[in-house]
Amino acid sequence: MLIRDKYLFDVSVIGGGPAGMLAAGRAAELGARVVLIEKNDSLGKKLLITGKGRCNYTHNETEIRKFAENFGRNGRFLYGALERFGVQQVLDFFQSRGLNGKVERGNRIFPDSGDARDVLNVLLKYLSKGKVEVLNGTEVVDIIFKHHSNQYDFRTILPRYEIISKKVILCTGGKSYPQTGSTGDGYDWANKFGHTIIQPEPALNPVKTLEKWISEVQGLSLRNVSLQLFHDGKKKDERFGEMLFTHFGISGPIVMDMSKTIGQYLKKKGKLQLMLDMKPALSFQKLDKRIQRDFQEFKGRMFKNSLAKLLPASMIELMVKLSGIDANKKVDHISRSERNKFLHLLKELTLTPVGLLGFQWSVITSGGIALNEVNPDTMASKKIDQLYFAGEILDLDGPSGGYNLQECWSTGFLAGENAAQKIKK
């Protein structure tokens, strides 16, 4: 409805990511007149690159408490949202619209097609069916909250006109992958409305390391390995799974999941080290016996040609060099002390973290809107009536594997539902 230079809506949703699209769609489904404002030229830009373009859209864990535990001490905040729209509800939502999921390694759930565009298309149809007014390529200049004639409304200022709405749902994301539009705009508006912003930090981030030899194995992925973090000799974190060597350091699921803790300890004084165990299923004693059996099998061969059963081919040359053992030495001539050194190299390969790659390569953001200022049962602000939050803008961050997208679906659905239900028809 055009009135001079003002548009009137029940609900304005700012941010066209997963949380924003679901919030807008749910509010419209309940009969609200909804506008969805996105500064990118199209919706779901970041969604399309999740899971390397395959979109790991949730995690196969339907028990609410177990799911929420993965978000640390803030996880309890999600109980209400997960109860209303949890993992099973998300699977049902997409399946009822023609998209089936498949469970892959690590209980990660991807669309059968393996294409993130199919997830986005379901959401676009959901918005279209609800007659949501979508404004792509439209950047919000400001949001003004006004009280007049015993009523409140929001005035969302755009470059050419303003939108008047009864409710606003902020789904602007955090600061990760700023090239997709996540530049922290929502923090400024929330702060203007009196909300506390927990310092945003990169999370699920690749880690830069000091060691120069890293570049020799860049591109190599190791599965079923263990990575431990030590600060001044005390273990602070441990992860098991897949790790990737890069030209700058390390990445992969276990590194990304540990990066938040690494970032915290990088700010502290003291010695920080990562210890990689390439054979975590074997104790030192059992691995030593395994090495001895291999050496016996390859008796008479050179050391460098006797490691094919222990290491990936692309890592053998490096490990031989790091061991200090002559590559051409016959394995049956290797001393016990040399074998012991090699054993510890396999179980305790040391890396020195020196930094994170930053927001540009961060999958999600740690920090955001303080949770004690948001109603967990409605996603409504406790500071400003009729203001709601959903998605990554909240101080919630979980590990890789579909947890963070599920948080967006759950909080977005809850925010959209409650914003629509509280509108007087």
> What CATH number does the domain containing 302 carry?
1.10.8.50
Percentage of residues of the chain with pLDDT beyond 90:
92
Q: How confident is the model at residue 153 (pLDDT cuts 50, 70, 90)?
A: confident
pLDDT band at 379 (very low <50, low <70, confident <90, very high): very high
Per the structure, the count of domains in the chain is 2
Statement to judge: residues 173 and 244 lie in one domain: no
pLDDT of the residue at 306? 95
* Residue 179 and residue 210 in one domain: no
Q: Give pLDDT, residue 1.
A: 39
Residues 122 and 225 in one domain: no
Same domain, yes or no, for 33 and 173? Answer: yes
The token duo for 411 is 């909080």
* Cα of 278 vs its chain's centroid, Å: 25
Query: Of the residues 308, 330, 357, which one is the last residue of a structural domain?
Result: 357
| Token pair listed for 177 | 């992958």
The mean per-residue pLDDT over the stretch 78-98 comes to 98
**Mean pLDDT lowest for which of 174-178, 345-349, 390-394?**
174-178
pLDDT reading at 249 higher than 80: yes
The mean pLDDT value for 356-363 works out to: 94
* Cβ-contact 376, 77 below 8 angstroms: yes
328 and 224 together in one domain: yes
Both 181 and 236 in a single domain? no
Q: What is the pLDDT of residue 366?
A: 96
Same domain, 141 and 230: no
Tell me how far apart the alpha carbons of residues 94 and 92 are, in angstroms, rounded to a whole number: 6
Last residue of a domain, one of 357, 381, 411: 357
Per-residue pLDDT, 420: 96
Residue where a domain terminates, one of 312, 330, 357: 357
Tell me which DSSP letter residue 330 carries.
Answer: B
Q: Is the pLDDT of residue 76 over 80?
A: yes
Find tokens 């020195």 and name the residue.
352
pLDDT at 150: 62
| Helix residue ranges, H only, 85-212 | 87-95, 116-129, 185-192
Does one domain contain both 265 and 402? no
Q: Assign 4 a pLDDT band (cuts: 50, 70, 90).
A: very low
Given a cut of 50, whether residue 3 has pLDDT beyond it is: no
Tokens representing 346 are: 């396999």
Evaluate if residue 361 carries a pLDDT over 60. yes
CA gap 283, 287 in Å, rounded: 6
Three-class SS state of 202: strand
How many residues are present in the chain? 425
- Is residue 269 located within the same domain as residue 232? yes
352 in the same domain as 232? yes
Shared domain for 302 and 227, answered yes or no, is: yes
Query: Of 401, 352, 105, which Cα lies nearest the Cα of 253?
Result: 401
pTM across the whole model = 0.91
The domain of 154 spans 2-202+364-421
pLDDT score, position 181: 87
My answer on whether 340 and 382 are in the same domain is: no
List phi, psi (to 5°) of 247. Answer: -70, -20
- Enumerate the β-bridge partners of residue 197: 369
pLDDT score of 48 more than 90: yes
CATH number for 76:
3.50.50.60
Q: What is the rounded distance in angstroms from the CA atom of residue 140 to the CA atom of residue 158?
A: 5
CB contact set of 104 (below 8 Å; sequence gap of 6+): 110
Whether pLDDT at 285 is above 70:
yes
CB 373 within 8 A of CB 195: yes
Kindly report the average pLDDT of the chain as a whole number: 95
Residue whose pair of structure tokens reads 């002390």 in the numeric block: 337
Distance CA 55, CA 384 (A): 34
Closest CA to 172 of 415, 416, 389: 389
Classify residue 308 by burial, with Cβ atoms within 10 Å: 0-12, 13-18, 19+.
exposed
Q: Give residue-wise pLDDT tens across range 398-420.
A: 999 999 999 999 999 999 999 99
